[in-house]
Amino acid sequence: NAGVTQTPKFQVLKTGQSMTLQCAQDMNHEYMSWYRQDPGMGLRLIHYSVGAGITDQGEVPNGYNVSRSTTEDFPLRLLSAAPSQTSVYFCASSNRGSSGNTIYFGEGSWLTVV
């Protein structure tokens, strides 16, 4: 039972490069989302999805792109990396329905943009 799997765990990018953070879950969850964590700011929502083919913006979407072609996968794309995107990124998933459903997080991806 893998849960939520994020790759890569660590990445260093140069300014202007693009990359994709991968997120996959094997629990058939409808809801998936991406958060970034910065010191003193908690986690902030970047993008989220309520099902395959449906995505929407969160609190801090600029500079990021997402798609949801399958239930299992929800990749996060950095179009042109900037130092301000240096952060720890977390993917999360849960079942739809009750807001009390448990939310599962990946282990995180540490990204540094130089």
Partner 1 sequence: AQSVTQLDSHVSVSEGTPVLLRCNYSSSYSPSLFWYVQHPNKGLQLLLKYTSAATLVKGINGFEAEFKKSETSFHLTKPSAHMSDAAEYFCVVRGATGTASKLTFGTGTRLQVTL
Nearer to partner 1, 17 or 30 (CB): 30
Residues near partner 1 (CB under 8 A): 31-33, 35, 40-45, 48-50, 58, 90, 92, 94, 96-103, 105-108
Parallel, antiparallel, or unpaired for β 104-105 and 109-113? unpaired
Rounded least distance, CB 29 to partner 1, Å? 10
Joined together, the tokens standing for residue 68 give 């949801």
Residue nearer to partner 1 on the CB measure, 16 or 107: 107
In whole angstroms, what is the distance from residue 63 CA to residue 69 CA? Answer: 20
Please name the residues in contact with 31: beta carbons below 8 A apart, sequence gap of 6 or more.
48, 49, 50, 51, 93, 94, 95, 96
In one letter, which amino acid is 94? S
Q: Between 14 and 42, whose beta carbon lies closer to partner 1?
A: 42
User: How near is the Cβ of 32 to partner 1 at its closest, in Å?
Assistant: 8
Minimum CB separation of residue 41 from partner 1 in Å reads 6
